[in-house]
Every structure is written in structure tokens, then in C-alpha cells.
Amino acid sequence: MPYHKFDYQQKPAIVILDFGSQYSELIARRVRETEVYSLVMSYRTSADELRKIAPKGIILSGGPNSVYTDNAPMCDAAIWELGIPILGVCYGMQLMVHQLGGSVDIASGKAEYGKAPLYFDETNGLLKDVVNGCTMWMSHGDSVKELPSSFIRLAHTSNTLEAAIASPSRSLYGVQFHPEVVHSTNGMQLIKNFVYEICNCKPDWTTRRFIDEAVEDVRNKVGQKKVLLALSGGVDSSTLAFLLNKAIGGQLTCMFIDQGFMRKGEPEFLMEFFDKKFHINVEYINARERFIGKLKGITDPEEKRKIIGAEFIRVFEEESSRLGPFDYLAQGTLYPDVIESAGTNLDPKTGERVAVKIKSHHNVGGLPKDLQFKLVEPLRQLFKDEVRKVGRSLGLPEEIVRRHPFPGPGLAIRILGEVNSQKLNCLRDADFIVREEIRNAGLYNDIWQAFAVLLPVCSVGVMGDQRTYEWPIVVRCVSSEDGMTADWSRLPHDLLECISNRIVNEVKGVNRVVLDITSKPPGTIEWE
């Protein structure tokens, strides 16, 4: 993942130095939840660069390494002398101890993973209003063995003596747990304490400020030129449409490309909502046969994504020639898209993220090299919940703001194997039933994503005293905060029974319904 290039007109109050943790961006998100602006930067960022940025605080992320291994990521040792408060998290704490003269004990049977009660040894501003004995999320093998001079122990767990440490005179702090994850019951309070009590930050990073700065940035970048936006009707592209309409008005043309992979009734809803209700210019392009034809005989999920992404851009280029010219292509790229497309490991030689691909996104990694547009991606730093807040502030109706995420390639990646019209119609009907019944049960807003998946295998069934040999439908419902991690939703049994009965009875070609109860990780939310 390319780190954010620092803009000296917009100084972050808190800088997170990334040592390869899967939670680095989550730390940034938690800081922003305190209405304080934060950015993630490479651990190789020099002390001189940090001095120029002049943040009020620095957080060192966790990471998969041991401080004693070859090529272990090390920060510039001069940062300890900047006089800026620093909080080390897990590996970040061990690095702090290691570089300041203490020692770390390499994993020797005392590793600690999962929830653990935290017990206080000293009172300190870092632990203000944190409950003694509260649960924190541990995930470490190595542990601090000996503290550097001037450091004291703040807290411990039953398995980790130095679970929280501090050198108050130098404003240096460390925790051996992950306060940023939801499993840490008082973790957010600890982060607030570091941000407000120790760094003396002010809550000036608000949704309104983001909108004002994003509007200004778009206007400065685009000038008087025209912008083309792919509108899907989801919360990301819808929020982006409202934001760009506010920024550049008539310079924006939204294009809805109906590739044939949308949910039931979506094309009609989209055109009615944006074009007629909110008077945002939307051009409807019917490209169903074109896209389905491109996927004939294709079964590999990654290849499907790339084909759909490339064809999507080709349609854009062709239609822009007819409607344009357009200089810019706007995309609703979010943080999770960037993270999953780039991976989380660090190259020890460069200090940059290594692309360990999980899946490609056609709005991040699948763009063709001969793309004719310049990109506008004002939502790129936001998580999904932040996008929802921006949408609400822009006046986006709740029925759009609370819509479940929908992948760019649409139902094509919820059909495993080859895609054809028969399977699409089958899945479209089953998916509609899943979402309708969850709405009827009043649970739609409690679930991050609810949808159906069609498997390319058949099983024997009995319907009307006759033998059937038809497809199974997988029901996938997950709960999440940002899509980075997720757990399967515990739906009431009577609701599941209703969904299953309706699908089997109403959807032609289906004789079996199964439930996916896999979390992320180890699985992904989508099946392809």
C-alpha cells in the first residue's frame, strides 16, 4: 500500500508509524473517532521529517517481527529525542524498550493471545477512566524482560508482567495489547487518554471538516474540467456523487453501466432515485449482453474480476467519447479496498508494503495501463462507517446510507464458476428473498452484509414427490464495523427457516439452502 504523501497544508495531529501490523489503519481510524486527524506513515519516516510535520503525538504500530530478527523494522532512533509523546503498541512497545536500552524476552512458552484482564500497578494519565481489571486483547510472543531507565510499570496481566509501561518525564508509553480492536473493552478510552490527556489534541477533525476540505481539493484538482463517475447505487458511489455534485455541480456526469450483475430492481431504483428525485445527471448504459458474453467459459474468480474491471473501463472510455470529453474518472475507493489489494507485509529492504494479493478490486488494482482518465478518489482514506457519516451530512437519505456493501463486479462473483443468465436470474431472486426477510425481521441495520451465493454443483432433492437435481444457495450474513474483520451473524432459527422455505419454493433451479458460519479471517466476506 502506498503510504499517504504528507500535505503540509493539512497537518496530522497524530502520526501512526506502520511496522506491518494488520491493525495500523484501524489505529488511525480509532484516533479519527476521537475527532483528531491522523495518518499512517512508513516506519522509515525520519525524525527530521516528523519534526517538519510536528504532530502532537506518534503511535508505533504492532507488527509480526521480533526486534532481534534479521531485517527487523527499526524506526529512526532520533525520534525518541523529539520531545513528542509516543505510544508503542505491541511490537512498537518492544521496539521502544529495545532501542532505549531495555531488553525483550523472545517467545519461550509464555506467548499470550486473546482476551486477558489488565491489572494496574501505577496510576497514570494513560489509564484515566480505564477500569482496573478490564479486558484487553493480547497477541504477542515476545515480552519485555527489562525496562529502560526512567520507565515504570503501569499494568500487568496474569501472563505478562510489563503489559503497560511509561516514562512520564519523557512522555513515552507502551502497551503490550491492542487497544484499537473491539475486543479491548476499554481500549478506546486508553486511546482517548493518549490523544487528549497526553498529546493535548483538540477535536477538530469532523465530518464537516472532511467534506469542506474534500470539496476544496476536488475543485482545485479538477478546475473547470468534466468528471465522469461510475454510479452503482451503493453507499460509496452515492456519497461520492453527492460530494462531487456539491463540489462541481454540472461538471459531473454520473454513468450507470448496467452490466447485468445488479441485484433485483436495482437499475430501476437507481434511475428513479438519482435522476428524477435528486436531479443528478445520470446516463443509463445497457451493457448486459456485452459483459455476460465476456465471461463465457470463465470460471476463475480472479480472472472474472479482471475481465469485468477492464470491460467496465472500456465502456467508460467509449461512452465518454460520446458524451464528453471527460478528463477525470471519479471512484469510491475506500481504505479496505486499498488494504486488501496491497497486503500488509513489509519489504525489509524498502520498508514499503508488499502486495500479498487476496483479491483484486476493479477500482484499485485492476485498472488497465492505458487508462485514458485521471483519477479522483476523495474517499480513499475513509472506512465504510466514515463514509456513512459523510453521506448523512451531505443529505443522503437513510435508505441509501444504510445499504449493505455490494461488490463492484456484482453478482458475477457470487456465482462460483461460469456465469450465465439462468444462474443470474436464480441468484437474483434468492438474494432478494434473503434481504427482504431480514428487513421484515427488523435486522437489516444490525447486519453488515446479507446476501446469497450460488454454487456450481447440484444435489439430489425431492419436490412434489419427484426427484430433483438442482443448485444449492448459500446464505451469507456477517457483522462487522469496517469490513476488515467480520463474524457471522447469529440469525434467529425461525428467520432462517423462513428464508430457506421461500427460496426453495419460489426460486426455480434451487432445492437446497445452506448457511455460511465462517468468520473473516480465516474466510473472506465474499466467496470469490
3-state SS track over 107-164: CCCCCEEEEEECEECCCCHHHCCCCCCCEEEEEECCEEEECCCCCEEEEECCCCCCCE
Known catalytic membership, residue 90:
yes
Whole-angstrom distance, CA of residue 433 vs CA of residue 28: 38
Query: Annotated catalytic residue: which of 98, 140, 178, 404?
Result: 178
Q: Is 283 a catalytic site residue?
A: no
Classify residue 412 by its DSSP letter.
G
Nearest in space to 172 (alpha carbons), one of 96, 264, 74? 96
List the one residue out of 305, 359, 384 whose CA is nearest residue 524.
Answer: 359
Q: If phi over 0 gives left and psi between -120 and 50 gives alpha, with beta otherwise, what is residue 262? A: beta
Burial class of residue 414 (count of CB atoms within 10 Å of its CB; 0-12, 13-18, 19+):
buried
Place of cell 428467520: 495
Q: How far is CA 146 from CA 97, 150, 216, 326, in A?
A: 8, 12, 50, 61
Quickly count helices (H) and strands (E) in the chain.
14, 24
Contact 97, 167 (CB under 8 A): no
Quick one: CA dihedral 322, 367, 340, 11, positive or negative? Answer: negative
Active-site entry in 25, 112, 162, 180: 180
Tell me the C-alpha distance between 235 and 245, whole Å: 15
C-alpha 339/C-alpha 469 separation (Å) is: 41
**Biggest distance spanned by C-alpha atoms of the chain:** 81
Buried b (16+ CB within 10 A) or exposed e, 327-340: bbbbbbbbbbbbbb
Q: Per the residue annotation, which of 75, 90, 199, 426 is the catalytic one?
A: 90
C-alpha cell at 419: 456465469
Helix 207-222 and helix 235-248: axis angle, to 10°?
60
Phi, psi torsion values for 169, nearest 5 degrees: -65, -25
Q: Which helix H or strand E contains 40, and what residues bound it?
A: strand 38-42
- 178 an active-site residue? yes
How many C-beta atoms surround the C-beta of residue 286 within 10 A?
12
Active site residues: 90, 178, 180
